[in-house]
Amino acid sequence: MIRGQFRSKRGQEEIIGFMLIVIMIIVIGLALLFFMKPKQAEQKDSQMDNLVYSLAATTYEGQDIGARIDE
């Protein structure tokens, strides 16, 4: 009976150790993904802003594109 209880505790300790290792790997992976995310999203936003501003400043037949879109 004593041996069965010892084996049960030992198995629980091994499972807890394994879970700690898995959690540490997940946390490290998420940290790496967070710090290494691509910066292209910011560039695309600024390119869209530049496109919108240039279209708004463009004139066509004496009217701004913005005014023509509003019509």
Q: Per residue in 7-65, pLDDT tens?
A: 667 788 889 999 999 999 999 999 998 888 766 655 566 777 787 777 777 777 777 76
- Considering the domain architecture, whether residues 63 and 44 belong to the same structural domain is answered as yes
Are the CB atoms for 31 and 23 separated by under 8 Å?
Answer: no
Q: Do 1 and 29 sit in the same domain of this protein?
A: yes
Dihedral, 59, 61, 62, 64 alpha carbons, nearest 10: -40
Phi/psi for 69 (5° steps) reads -70, -40
Structural domain boundaries enclosing 9:
1-37
| Number of domains composing the chain | 2
Phi, psi of 58 (to 5 degrees): -75, 140
* pLDDT at residue 5, as a whole number: 57
Please tell me whether residues 25 and 48 are part of one structural domain. Answer: no
| Residue 50 and residue 28 share a domain | no
Verify that 52 and 70 share a domain, yes or no.
yes
Instruction: Specify the pLDDT at position 1.
Output: 46
Pick from 47, 69, 48, 43: nearest CA to 58: 69
